[in-house]
């Protein structure tokens, strides 16, 4: 399946191109299709594409992320590779414009529609990554006629009105003199071909709506609101255009006692007065098993202890976040006789805070 956003292909470099090669390729292409210099239709879209490719491939982190996942974006503080859905809207608008511009109708390849589906993940699945299945509905080329629209064994005929050009030349008289314009051929609607025996499967459309089950490899570390892009898994394109993309948006369910802040995991640890005053060694839960925490004597409520690298894998592949354990000193709600006696004893010897004079 064709991939529209193959940034390497756009810049015409190999997947192991050096930074220098990428820069060189970008400069050359940007010069060629800069809208100020190049007035051909499509140059602007091409310039935008080249720019987008360079933004990603010239940045080491974005490039490695792109190599691994294609495109991952969202509001989770991770990379958003510039032109997202809006870009696609702009592109189709621009394509539509180019198609009808100057009164000519051409069979401009058009990218297929991009689709979005949704996956709800448990906290654990989001943290460690998982493999899931989604069911989508997309438009594919008809398998019976391979997208031609003609019943198998037959083929579309060349339109006799326009001789396959899809357009007719019309000479008109105006006050400025005679001028010629191209108008789309009515008979073949600009396609240049006539389907005399339409395919029975797709009724001559060449494309059909199908339901597909797809396996999605969810990378470790995804967060609420982030999307994964599966290149070329959207609907089929038109006139040989590339297929659209499939976006999988995630929502992540909360954990029973962990909270998440980006790639850090937060945990509130309840301890009592004595542990805080005297210090203690306690077990704390982490994503990969129990850890030991040494609470120093004189620990205050709210103090936070950090376990480096015990958090969630960063989606860009740069290691893991941390586990932050926040100490919460709990006040006993009910005291038995013995405890009461000890607290009363403590109360006699501990200094009282005096109001400032
Ligand atoms: Zn068909
Ligand atoms: Zn025609």
pLDDT in tens, 298-324: 999 999 999 999 999 998 888 999 999
Domain boundaries defined on the chain:
7-251, 259-349
Give residue 228's pLDDT. 94
Contacts of 99 (CB under 8 A, 6+ apart): 105, 106, 108
Question: CATH number of the domain at 7-251, please?
Answer: 1.10.287.110
Give residue 179's pLDDT. 78
Task: Say if residues 51 and 87 touch (Cβ distance below 8 Å).
Answer: no
Ligand nearest to the CA of 158: 2
Give residue 250's pLDDT. 95
Task: Say if residues 4 and 238 touch (Cβ distance below 8 Å).
Answer: no
Q: What is the separation, in whole angstroms, between the first and last Cα of the chain?
A: 80
DSSP for 72-84 reads EESSSSS---S--
If you measure from the C-alpha of residue 199 to the centroid of ligand 1, how many angstroms do you get, rounded to a whole number? 5
If you measure from the C-alpha of residue 185 to the centroid of ligand 2, how many angstroms do you get, rounded to a whole number? 5
If you measure from the C-alpha of residue 185 to the centroid of ligand 1, how many angstroms do you get, rounded to a whole number? 23
If you measure from the C-alpha of residue 144 to the centroid of ligand 1, how many angstroms do you get, rounded to a whole number? 5
If you measure from the C-alpha of residue 92 to the centroid of ligand 1, how many angstroms do you get, rounded to a whole number? 25
Task: Say if residues 129 and 220 touch (Cβ distance below 8 Å).
Answer: yes
Give residue 52's pLDDT. 83
If you measure from the C-alpha of residue 195 to the centroid of ligand 2, how many angstroms do you get, rounded to a whole number? 11
Give residue 235's pLDDT. 95
Give residue 169's pLDDT. 84
If you measure from the C-alpha of residue 183 to the centroid of ligand 1, how many angstroms do you get, rounded to a whole number? 28
Distances from the Cα of 81 to the Cα of 13, 45, 167, angstroms = 19, 16, 39
Q: Pairing between strand 167-174 and 177-184?
A: antiparallel
If you measure from the C-alpha of residue 194 to the centroid of ligand 2, how many angstroms do you get, rounded to a whole number? 8
How many whole angstroms separate alpha carbon 220 and alpha carbon 123? 11
Ligand nearest to the CA of 200: 1
Specify the residue for token string 């100020």: 36
Positions in the chain whose pLDDT score sits under 70? 1-5, 69-107
Distances from the Cα of 196 to the Cα of 144, 149, 199, angstroms = 16, 10, 10
If you measure from the C-alpha of residue 100 to the centroid of ligand 1, how many angstroms do you get, rounded to a whole number? 27
Ligand nearest to the CA of 157: 2
If you measure from the C-alpha of residue 162 to the centroid of ligand 2, how many angstroms do you get, rounded to a whole number? 4
CATH class of the domain defined by 259-349: mainly beta
Give residue 95's pLDDT. 34
Give residue 170's pLDDT. 83
Give residue 5's pLDDT. 65
Ligand nearest to the CA of 185: 2
If you measure from the C-alpha of residue 208 to the centroid of ligand 1, how many angstroms do you get, rounded to a whole number? 8
Give residue 343's pLDDT. 94
If you measure from the C-alpha of residue 149 to the centroid of ligand 2, how many angstroms do you get, rounded to a whole number? 16
């Amino acid at each position: 399946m064709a991939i529209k956003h193959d940034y390497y292909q756009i810049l015409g470099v190999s997947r192991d191109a050096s930074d220098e090669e990428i820069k060189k390729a970008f400069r050359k292409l940007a010069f060629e299709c800069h809208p100020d210099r190049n007035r051909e239709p499509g140059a602007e879209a091409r310039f935008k594409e080249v720019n987008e490719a360079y933004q990603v491939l010239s940045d080491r982190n974005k490039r490695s992320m792109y190599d691994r996942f294609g495109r991952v974006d969202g509001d989770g503080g991770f990379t958003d590779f510039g032109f997202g859905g809006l870009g696609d809207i702009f592109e189709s608008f621009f394509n539509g414009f180019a198609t009808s511009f100057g009164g000519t109708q051409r069979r401009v390849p058009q990218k297929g529609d991009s689709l979005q589906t949704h996956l709800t993940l448990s906290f654990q699945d989001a943290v460690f990554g998982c493999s899931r299945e989604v069911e989508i509905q997309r438009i594919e080329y008809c398998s019976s006629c391979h997208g031609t629209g003609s019943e198998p064994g037959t083929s579309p005929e060349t339109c006799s009105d326009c001789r396959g050009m899809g357009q007719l030349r019309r000479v008109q008289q105006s006050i400025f003199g005679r001028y010629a314009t191209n108008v789309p051929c009515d008979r073949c609607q600009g396609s240049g071909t006539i389907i005399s025996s339409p395919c029975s499967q797709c009724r001559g459309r060449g494309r059909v709506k199908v339901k597909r089950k797809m396996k999605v490899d969810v990378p470790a570390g995804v967060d609420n609101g982030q999307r994964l892009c599966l290149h070329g898994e959207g609907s089929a394109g038109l006139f040989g255009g590339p297929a659209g993309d499939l976006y999988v948006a995630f929502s992540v369910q909360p954990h029973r006692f962990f909270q998440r802040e980006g790639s850090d995991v937060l945990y509130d640890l309840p301890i009592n007065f004595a542990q805080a005053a005297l210090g203690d060694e306690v077990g704390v839960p982490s994503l990969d098993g129990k850890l030991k925490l040494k609470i120093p004597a004189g620990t205050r409520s709210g103090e936070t202890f950090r376990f480096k690298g015990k958090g969630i894998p960063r989606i860009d592949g740069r290691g893991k976040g941390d586990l932050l354990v926040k100490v919460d000193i709990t006040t006993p709600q009910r005291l038995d006789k013995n405890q009461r006696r000890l607290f009363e004893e403590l109360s006699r010897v501990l200094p009282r805070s005096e109001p400032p004079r």
